[in-house]
Amino acid sequence: MPLPPYLYAADLSRSYQSEYDPKKPLAEWAVREKDQFLKHRDKNGDKRMDRSEVGEWIMPTDYDPIEAEAKHLIYHADKNKDGKLSEEEVVSHQSLFVGSQALNYGRPLSHEEL
C-alpha cells in the first residue's frame, strides 16, 4: 500500500519534533522535504510512495557505499593529490582510517599495524 503524503509529512514532523497541522503553512524544512519528495522520491508522480519507490529511497541502486567511502578517504588523506595513498599519508591520517567504515571502524587493525 503506498504511503500517502500526509503520513510522510506527519512522520517528518515527529523527526523534527514539531506537530503536523495541515491547516497551517508548511515550515521551511517541510517545504524542502516536500520538494525533495516530489522531485526525487515520487518517481511515477502519483504523490505516493509505492514499494519500489520506498525501496529505492532506502537502498538506492545507483549508490555504491564502498566507492563513496574510498573517494572520501582519498579526498581527505591524499595530500599530494596524485589519486593514490602513500604509507605516510595513511599514517598521518590514521584517525580518519580508524573511524572509516571501509576498515570496520578500526577493528581489523592491531596495535602493531598502527
Strand, coil or helix: what is 18? coil
DSSP 40: I
d(CA 106, CA 48): 41
Of the listed ranges 9-13, 23-27, 66-70, the one predicted with least confidence: 9-13
The winner for highest mean pLDDT among 6-10, 77-81, 106-110 is: 77-81
pLDDT for 81-96, tens place per residue?
999 999 999 999 988 8
C-alpha cell at 51: 514499494
